[in-house]
C-alpha cells in the first residue's frame, strides 16, 4: 500500500490560468496513471455552452472519463457548496478503484471547496438583496464595485468585477456577518480523507496572452457565435453572466460591432487570467511548473506525483 492507511488516495490538482494548457496535461496524467478526471472549472458545468467555455471535446478527452463537464443545464441552480459535496461523494467511490485521481481547473473557489472546505455562509436576505438590486438599478455595476471595495478590498481584487451576482453576494456576506467575505472563504481548512498534491501550470505573460487570443479566434471559427445566439434568450441567467457571452450579447443587441465584442472578449479574458493567478499565488501549497514545453511539464509532474507517493509510503 503506497499511501497512508488513514487516507483514501492521492488527489492531484492541476490548476493555472485559462489557456495555460492544464487540460491536456491532466489527460496525459490520467492516461499515465490509468485514472479519471474531475473538472473544477465552473464555466464548463453547462451542457449548452461547450464552445464558449473551452470545454474539452471527446477527442481531447482521449477516452478518459471526465466528471462535472456538461452535467448541468444553464437553467439549473448550482453552487460551490453543492459542488463540494458532489465531488467528495464521488472521490469516496473512486478511491476504491484508483490510487490517484486528477482534478483540473482554474476556478479557485471551487478548488478550495474540495481541498479545504468552505464556511457555511448565511442564506441571502430578501430585504438586503432588494437594497442591492436598487443600488444596481440606480448606480449601475460601478456602485456595487465601490461598495465592495469599501467592505472587502481583498475580494474586490480577485472577483470578476463584471459579474453582478458575485459582487452582490460578496457585499451581502460582509454586511450579514460583519466580516470580510475574503476572510471567511480563505480561513477554512478542513481535514480531508485523502492526500492532496497541487500543481500550478504557469507561462510567460506574453505567451499566455498569445494563447488566449489564438484560442478566442479558434472558438469563434468553430461556431461560438451560433452557440451564443442559441442561448441569447436566456441571457439574464447567472450561468451566462461570464466572459465571452456577455460581450457577444452586446453585439447581438446592436451595442457593439463584432470587432468590438471580440476585442472586449480578449481583454476581459486576459483580466480573468490575471485574477486567477492572483488567487492561486496566495496558496503556498501550489507547486509551480513551467508550461512552455508540454513534454517537460509532463515529466516534471510525474516526478512530483511519484515523489509524493513515495513520501506517503514512508509515513
Higher pLDDT, residue 64 or 125: 64
Low-confidence winner among 92-101, 155-164, 205-214 (lowest mean pLDDT): 155-164
Domain spans in the chain, listed from the N-terminal domain onward: 10-118+194-314, 126-185
The pLDDT score that the predictor gives to residue 4 is: 45
According to CATH, the topology of domain 10-118+194-314 is Rossmann fold (3.40.50)
pLDDT band at 315 (very low <50, low <70, confident <90, very high): low
Low-confidence winner among 112-126, 176-190, 217-231 (lowest mean pLDDT): 176-190
The pLDDT score that the predictor gives to residue 5 is: 45
Asked if 40 contacts 103 with a C-beta cutoff of 8 angstroms, the reply is yes
Place of cell 476556478: 107
Cα(68)–Cα(45) distance, integer angstroms: 6
Cα(117)–Cα(122) distance, integer angstroms: 16
The pLDDT score that the predictor gives to residue 1 is: 34
Identical topology for domains 10-118+194-314 and 126-185: no
Task: Provide the sign of the torsion angle of the four alpha carbons 279, 39, 237, 251, taken in this order.
Answer: positive
pLDDT digits (tens, 9 = 90+) for 239-277: 998 999 999 999 999 999 999 999 999 999 999 999 999
pLDDT more than 70, % of the chain? 96
Higher pLDDT, residue 120 or 28: 28
CATH of range 126-185; options 2.40.30.170, 1.10.20.140, 3.90.800.10, 3.30.390.30: 1.10.20.140
Cell numbers at 43, concatenated: 464555466
What number is the average pLDDT over the span 44-70?
97
Task: Evaluate if residue 120 carries a pLDDT over 50.
Answer: yes
pLDDT digits (tens, 9 = 90+) for 161-212: 888 888 999 999 899 888 888 877 655 578 899 999 999 999 999 999 999 9
Amino acid at each position: 500500500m503506497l499511501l497512508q492507511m488513514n487516507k483514501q488516495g492521492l488527489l492531484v490538482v492541476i490548476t493555472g490560468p485559462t489557456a495555460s494548457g492544464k487540460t491536456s496535461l491532466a489527460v496525459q496524467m490520467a492516461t499515465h496513471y490509468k485514472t479519471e478526471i474531475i473538472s473544477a472549472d465552473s464555466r464548463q458545468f453547462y451542457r449548452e455552452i461547450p464552445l464558449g467555455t473551452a470545454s474539452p471535446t471527446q477527442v481531447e478527452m482521449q477516452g478518459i472519463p471526465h466528471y462535472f463537464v456538461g452535467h448541468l443545464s444553464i437553467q439549473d441552480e448550482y453552487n460551490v457548496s453543492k459542488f463540494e459535496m458532489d465531488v467528495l461523494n464521488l472521490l469516496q467511490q473512486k478511491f476504491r478503484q484508483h490510487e490517484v485521481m486528477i482534478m483540473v481547473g482554474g476556478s479557485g473557489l471551487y478548488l478550495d471547496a474540495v481541498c479545504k472546505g468552505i464556511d457555511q455562509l448565511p442564506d441571502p436576505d430578501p430585504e438586503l438583496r432588494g437594497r442591492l438590486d436598487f443600488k444596481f438599478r440606480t448606480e449601475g455595476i460601478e456602485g456595487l464595485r465601490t461598495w465592495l471595495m469599501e467592505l472587502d478590498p481583498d475580494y474586490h481584487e480577485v472577483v470578476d468585477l463584471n459579474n453582478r451576482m458575485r459582487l452582490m453576494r460578496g457585499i451581502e456576506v460582509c454586511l450579514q456577518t460583519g466580516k470580510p467575505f475574503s476572510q471567511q472563504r480563505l480561513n477554512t481548512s478542513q481535514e480531508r480523507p485523502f492526500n492532496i498534491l497541487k500543481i500550478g501550470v504557469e507561462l510567460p505573460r506574453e505567451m499566455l496572452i498569445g494563447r488566449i487570443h489564438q484560442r478566442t479566434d479558434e472558438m469563434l471559427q468553430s461556431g461560438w457565435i451560433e452557440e451564443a445566439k442559441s442561448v441569447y434568450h436566456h441571457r439574464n441567467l447567472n450561468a451566462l453572466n461570464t466572459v465571452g457571452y456577455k460581450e457577444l450579447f452586446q453585439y447581438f443587441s446592436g451595442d457593439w460591432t463584432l470587432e468590438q465584442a471580440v476585442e472586449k472578449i480578449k481583454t476581459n479574458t486576459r483580466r480573468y487570467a490575471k485574477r486567477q493567478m492572483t488567487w492561486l499565488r496566495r496558496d503556498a501549497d501550489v507547486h509551480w511548473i513551467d508550461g512552455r514545453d508540454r513534454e517537460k511539464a509532463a515529466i516534471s509532474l510525474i516526478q512530483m506525483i511519484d515523489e509524493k507517493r513515495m513520501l506517503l509510503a514512508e509515513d
